[in-house]
Structure 1
Amino acid sequence: MLKSLLALFEDSRTQQKPAYTLELATAALFCEVINADYEVTQTERAEYEKQLRKHVSIDEETLKTLLKQGEEKAESAVDLVQFTQVIVRQCSAEERIQIIKSLWAIAYADRSLAPLEESTVRQIAELLYVPHSQFIKTKLEVLDNTVSEEK
């Protein structure tokens, strides 16, 4: 009897679908960085859209819906784990590093880095199991690109 009860719980657990799609989880994390310093600029919003386009291949209308849903989910979220778990399960280490690189691009979109933005990217990197060396490397790559664009 105990085995059948355990099997029932195991079946229900394996049939559960993730709460979010990979695309929505990524969009929500990008929004977390935008909202981190409580100052949302147009350049950050434009970079958010640009970076999201790099990670998803969907039509224009679906992208606009995803951008809006990402903002809504980020605003109502109580933690980052609900989003990062989806990404960890579905993405390779290299894909997760590219997400961190995109987060840095969004954080530096307004040509400044607020401490809360850096802290948010750091938290996400840790939850995505991105090594600290890659966290720093991607930050420096994006910073170097940002400085090069200013010249």
Structure 2
Amino acid sequence: MSGLAGCGRLAYICAMFEALLRRMMAPAPNRLPDPEAHLALAALLVRIARADNDYSVAEMARIDRVLSSHYTLSPFAAAKLRAEAEVLEAEAPDTVRFTRALKEAVAHEDRAGLMQSLWAVALADGNRAAEEEQVLRLVANLLGLTDRDSALARQAVQRGGL
């Protein structure tokens, strides 16, 4: 019986991913409801962490802490959201779709906080990888932020934020 319940849960998760991917692949995605915006941010955090082809335990732990902090999630719920985001990120065609969805879901004045979260993940492993910086520069631009905004976010993280 529990196997059947697990199959139902898996089917639900697959349907959720398919619906989100359909919306994100559309020419102009609609504003995402909060649970899907949470998943889009989580997937973007995973994409940043994977950009240098070294997805470390430190980065995973930082993603969990960021998600827990942003959305008031338990450590277990944050890890579960990250695991769902890992699957979504691997299947998503590009970074633009995540950032476009987040730009619609997050007010401009709150996007600097998103950049801090992204930088916190990029710097979690102690390396400032060029590949991660390249993705972060693209993300900042797509979120309507300047290079200066991104630099200030990075500096805040380096001073001990997040």
User: The TM-score by the shorter chain falls in which range?
Assistant: 0.7 to 0.9
1:119 lines up with 2:129 in the alignment: no
Structure 1 residues 43 and 17: CA distance shift in structure 2, 3 A: closer
TM-score, normalised to structure 2's length? Answer: 0.73
Alignment correspondent of 2:103: 88
Return the offset for 1:56. 1.2
Return the offset for 1:120. 1.0
Q: Which of 42, 48, 72 does residue 33 from structure 1 map onto?
A: 48
Instruction: Give RMSD over aligned pairs.
Output: 2.1
Using the alignment, how far apart are the partners of 1:18 and 1:145 within structure 2?
31
1:56 lines up with 2:71 in the alignment: yes
Using the alignment, how far apart are the partners of 1:17 and 1:90 within structure 2?
6
Question: Is the CA contact 2:67–2:73 (under 8 Å) kept in the aligned structure 1?
Answer: no
Structure 1 residues 89 and 143: CA distance shift in structure 2, 3 A: same
Return the offset for 1:98. 0.6
Q: Which of 116, 122, 133 does residue 148 from structure 2 map onto?
A: 133
AA matched with 1:27:
A
TM-score, normalised to structure 1's length? Answer: 0.78
Gaps of 5+ in 1: 1-15, 147-151
Question: Is the CA contact 1:21–1:86 (under 8 Å) kept in the aligned structure 2?
Answer: no
Using the alignment, how far apart are the partners of 2:121 and 2:86 within structure 1?
14
Return the offset for 1:82. 1.6
Q: State the identity %.
A: 27
Corresponding pairs, count: 131
Gaps of 5+ in 2: 1-29
Structure 1 residues 39 and 60: CA distance shift in structure 2, 3 A: closer
Structure 2 counterparts to residues 94-109 of structure 1, below 5 A: 94-109=109-124
Alignment correspondent of 1:42: 57
Structure 1 residues 87 and 17: CA distance shift in structure 2, 3 A: closer
Structure 2 counterparts to residues 2-17 of structure 1, below 5 A: none
1:65 partner SS? helix
Return the offset for 1:66. 1.2
Using the alignment, how far apart are the partners of 2:155 and 2:75 within structure 1?
31
